[in-house]
Chains A and B, each alone.
Chain A
Amino acid sequence: MNQKFTTVFRIVLPAILIGELALVSPVSAGVISNHSGTICTNYNAKDVTKIDRYSYGTRSLKTSATTVVCPLTRNTSSSYGAYVYVDIYHASYATTKCTAFSYDEDGYLLTSTSAGWTGGGLHEFSLNLTGLGSSSSFSDYSVVCSIPGGGAGIIQGVDLSEQ
């Protein structure tokens, strides 16, 4: 009984310790705010009737690529910026381009990063807005994306990881 306990103890103990180590990493990661793609809306007034939504995302029914803007909610007042992750679905081979912005409370641009993806299916790409001074206590983040027209692209999520 005692030896059995010892054996189990020897196996379980390192497993628990490894588990604890695995738990340490999310703590040091950023503060994450997930946003549904449904938050994205038309960037230009003329496209207001072309935007269509699913319960999980936004698409454009315009015949050409359409620019949408997605406001992001912050959960910190960090000055170290953030990573932005865009989840996009392409029904067929197409291109989505996004630019993430950080604006101070007066509406002045602090920093921006652009990235995109060309292909078919579901994909996630990241935009790096990190670095001291890339955000401030009252600054805001937003993402402007050009998505394929004809309903061929759906923005499914825009996630923010504040550093």
Chain B
Amino acid sequence: MKLSSAALLSFTVIFVGGLIFAYWIDDYPASGISSSPSRMVTSSTAEGKNSSARMVDAYQQDRVALRQEVALLRREIAAMQRQFQEQRQTDSEAAAPVSRAEEEQIQRERLESLETSFRQEAIDRQWAETASAEIQTALQEKGADPLALQDMECHSHTCRLELANDGSGKLEKSLPDFLSQLSETLPYATANSIAGSGNLILYMSSDSGNFSQQGKQ
């Protein structure tokens, strides 16, 4: 499904070659044209000569226009080739393998950025109360075996929850249902498992920008 940049670049190079060849073919008979009027002169009247001269002029103008057009297209193709090269470079950089240490650093920075953004987020009391109530309702939906909420704080479009993890797998199993129940109010979630305690810090937001912008390239 995906066409490689290399294939497209090859296509462009072949196309440029074809273009130059086509232009050469177009240019080649010009010498023939110059001999054609001379043949006409020998067998025509002065009017015929003028008519031929006009034809030659028109053809020369056409050639000049075509030459300019080809020059413009060459420039456009050169610009496209540069774009391809830049895109290939970007692709290869993005696809370059990231070391484990770099990935851990990315995650650390991402989570720090999430916490910082949350702390800097303004507080909308009404939104916070509504979101908190919905979270409490979703937690209670689990009936006699609800998720253990340790801490909750809501601001203006993000809530930070700390959920206890007893290691039984209950938290992991219940999480999809819990998140699904809040899909309309808080559809975006990012998690941070606290080393040692095993508790889960969950940042839930109504705004995708909050999370997708974290550490964006």
Contacts and interface: CB of A to CB of B under 8 A. Distances in A.
A17 B73 contact: yes
Given A128-B208, A136-B107, A27 B191 contact: no
Contacts of B77: 17
B98 interface: yes
Nearest to A8: B22
Contacts of A20: 8, 11-12, 15, 80
A36 interface: no
A10 B8 contact: no
Interface residues of B, number: 58
Contacts, number: 144
Interface in A101-152: 101, 104, 107-116, 128, 130-134, 136-137, 144, 146
Contacts of A24: 8, 80, 83-84, 87
Nearest to B100: A137
Nearest to A139: B103
Given A31-B2, A133-B109, A16 B191 contact: no
Interface in B1-49: 1-5, 8, 11-12, 15, 19, 22, 25-26, 29
A114 to B, nearest CB: 3
B18 to A, nearest CB: 9
Contacts of A113: 187-189, 208
Contacts of A69: 176
Contact of A111 (B4, B87, B189): B189
B152 interface: no
A80 interface: yes
Given A9-B22, A77-B97, A27 B212 contact: no
B208 A67 contact: no
A133 B110 contact: yes
Interface in B81-109: 83-84, 87, 91, 94-95, 97-98, 100, 103, 106-107, 109
A6 interface: yes
Interface stretch (B121-129, B140-148, B153-161, B177-185): B177-185
A39 to B, nearest CB: 16
A78 B97 CA distance: 8
Overall SS of chain A's interface:
mixed
Given A26-B3, A131-B212, A114 B182 contact: yes
B71 interface: no
A99 B212 CA distance: 16
A48 to B, nearest CB: 15
Interface residues of A, number: 53
A146 B40 CA distance: 85
Contacts of A112: 179, 188-191
B199 to A, nearest CB: 12
> Most chain-A Cβ atoms within 10 A of its Cβ — which of B66, B87, B191?
B191
A50 interface: no
B150 to A, nearest CB: 17
A23 B26 contact: no
B62 A116 contact: no
Given A17-B76, A27-B87, A67-B176, A80 B1 contact: no
Closest 6 CB pairs of A and B: A114-B183, A133-B110, A109-B191, A144-B176, A131-B212, A132-B215
Given A5-B26, A99-B176, A110-B191, 7 more contacts: A2-B26, A20-B80, A110-B190, A128-B208, A130-B212, A131-B211, A131-B215
29 contacts: A5-B22, A5-B26, A6-B66, A13-B19, A17-B77, A21-B80, A23-B11, A24-B8, A24-B83, A26-B2, A27-B5, A31-B2, A43-B176, A98-B180, A101-B176, A107-B172, A108-B191, A109-B175, A109-B189, A109-B191, A111-B190, A112-B188, A114-B183, A132-B106, A133-B110, A133-B214, A133-B215, A134-B212, A136-B103
